[in-house]
C-alpha cells in the first residue's frame, strides 16, 4: 500500500525537526520517521509535534527524517527492495509482496483462514511472527512488529457480491500475490495484479472493474468516487510488517533502538490495531453515506465462498507447509 511506506531517502530528507527524548544522546544522526497519519496509524513516528506521544518524548533532542507516501518511492515491492539494499531505512509493506522472498508468507493471504482478528494478532505476536522474523532477518530486515490494515472486502461497479457466482468474469485488481491470484481465479473472477498507486486510475478508466481492500482504506483512498458496490466478504485480514534495514537499525545506539521498539509496540501495533478494529463499522457507514451500496454476506453464502476456495488450499498448502496451518489451528481455538 503506497501511503504506508515510511522512510527517509538518504541525503534527500524533505525536512527535519528537533524532538525531545529522555533516552536520546545529545548528538545523533538523522533518523527515519513519519508524519502523523491520522485515523490509519495513530501517532506513528511523528515529527509532527512529538515522537510516540508525550509518554516517550521529553528531554534531549535529535533529528527526525521524513514521511513519503502515495507511492512516491514506488509501490510495496520497490519500497522493500529499497529497505533491503539500504537505500531507504523503513517501510510498511503488505505481507503479500514478501512471498517473493519466501512462500511461507502466503499463509497470511489464505482466504478465510483466521477465525478472528484476535487469532491473527496472537499468532503474529507469537509463533507465526517469530518464524517470519527469523526469515526476514536472513534477508537483511529488522521487523519491529505487525501492523493491521483491516479486513479485506470487495468493491466493484457491476453488481453486489453475495456469493462466488457474482464474481464471474469481473476484472478485479489484486495484490501481486500468487495466493490472491489463485483465490480470485477460484472464485470465478479475472484477477489483475496492480500496484496500489494505480488502483484509482485503473478503476476510473475501466482497466479493472473492482478491487478489494479494507473499509478504512477504501474510504481514505476515495474509491467511493469510482465504485458503486461494496461487499463485506472479510476474505482475509490485511497485515503489514514494520520493516527496517537491519544494518541501519543495529547501527543505532541501544537507547534509540529501544525508543523505536517501544513506539512501534505502543502506537503502530497496540493502538493502531485497536483503532482499526474499532472503526471498521464506522467506515462502512461512511461509505454508504458517500453513495456506495453495501451488502453483507449471509452465513449460507459465506459457506459457498469457503467451499469455492478449497482448491487454493490444495495448491498452496504444500508450498507454505502443513506445520504453519497446524500452528494457526491452535490460535483459532
- CA 82 – CA 77 distance, rounded (Å): 9
For residue 174, the domain's CATH number is 3.40.190.170
pLDDT mean over 61-71: 44
Is the CB of residue 232 less than 8 Å from the CB of residue 292? no
Residues 19 and 84 in one domain: yes
Query: How many domains would you assign to the chain?
Result: 2
Percent of the chain clearing pLDDT 70 (strictly above): 78
Residue 332 falls inside a structural domain: no
Residue 107 falls inside a structural domain: no
Is residue 40 predicted with pLDDT exceeding 90?
no
* Higher local confidence (pLDDT), 216 or 89: 216
Is residue 3 predicted with pLDDT exceeding 80?
no
Output the pTM of the full model: 0.81
Residues 16 and 35 in one domain: yes
- In DSSP terms, 61 is beta-bridged to 20
pLDDT tens-digit series, residues 173-188 = 999 899 999 999 999 9
pLDDT mean over 160-171: 98
Range of the domain at 202: 153-236+281-327
Is residue 270 predicted with pLDDT exceeding 60?
yes
- Mention every residue, 6+ apart, whose C-beta is less than 8 A from residue 178: 99, 103, 106, 316
Of the candidates 66, 141, 130, the residue with the CA atom closest to the CA atom of residue 97: 141
Residue 189 falls inside a structural domain: yes
Residue 94 falls inside a structural domain: yes
Residues 46 and 171 in one domain: no
Residues 308 and 264 in one domain: no
Amino acid at each position: 500500500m503506497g501511503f504506508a511506506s515510511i522512510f527517509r531517502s538518504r541525503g534527500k530528507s524533505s525536512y527535519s525537526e528537533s524532538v525531545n527524548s529522555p533516552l536520546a544522546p545529545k548528538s545523533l544522526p538523522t533518523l527515519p520517521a513519519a508524519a502523523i497519519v491520522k485515523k490509519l496509524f495513530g501517532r506513528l513516528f511523528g515529527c509532527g509535534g512529538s515522537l510516540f506521544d508525550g509518554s516517550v518524548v521529553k528531554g534531549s533532542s535529535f533529528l527526525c527524517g521524513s514521511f513519503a507516501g502515495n507511492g512516491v518511492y514506488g509501490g510495496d515491492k520497490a519500497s522493500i527492495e529499497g529497505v533491503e539494499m539500504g537505500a531507504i531505512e523503513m517501510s510498511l509493506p503488505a505481507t503479500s509482496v514478501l512471498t517473493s522472498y519466501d512462500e511461507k508468507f502466503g499463509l497470511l493471504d489464505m482466504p478465510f483462514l483466521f477465525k478472528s482478528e484476535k487469532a491473527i494478532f496472537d499468532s503474529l505476536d507469537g509463533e507465526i511472527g517469530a518464524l517470519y522474523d527469523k526469515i526476514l532477518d536472513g534477508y537483511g530486515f529488522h521487523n519491529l512488529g505487525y501492523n493491521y490494515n483491516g479486513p479485506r472486502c470487495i468493491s466493484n461497479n457491476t453488481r453486489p457480491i453475495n456469493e462466488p457466482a457474482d464474481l464471474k468474469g469481473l476484472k478485479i485488481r489484486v495484490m501481486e500475490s500468487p495466493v490472491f491470484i489463485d483465490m480470485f481465479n477460484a472464485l470465478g473472477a479475472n484477477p489483475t495484479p496492480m500496484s496500489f498507486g494505480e488502483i484509482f486510475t485503473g478503476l476510473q478508466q475501466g482497466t479493472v472493474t473492482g478491487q478489494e481492500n479494507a473499509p478504512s482504506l477504501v474510504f481514505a483512498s476515495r474509491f467511493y468516487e469510482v465504485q458503486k458496490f461494496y461487499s463485506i466478504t472479510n476474505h482475509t485480514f490485511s497485515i503489514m510488517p514494520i520493516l527496517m534495514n537491519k544494518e541501519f537499525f543495529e547501527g543505532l545506539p541501544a537507547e534509540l533502538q529501544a525508543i523505536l521498539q517501544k513506539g512501534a509496540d505502543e502506537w503502530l501495533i497496540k493502538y493502531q490495531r485497536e483503532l482499526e478494529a474499532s472503526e471498521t463499522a464506522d467506515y462502512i457507514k461512511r461509505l454508504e453515506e458517500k453513495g456506495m451500496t453495501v451488502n453483507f454476506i449471509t452465513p449460507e453464502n459465506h459457506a459457498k465462498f469457503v467451499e469455492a476456495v478449497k482448491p487454493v488450499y490444495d495448491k498452496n498448502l504444500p508450498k507454505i507447509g502443513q506445520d504453519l496451518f497446524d500452528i494457526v489451528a491452535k490460535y483459532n481455538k
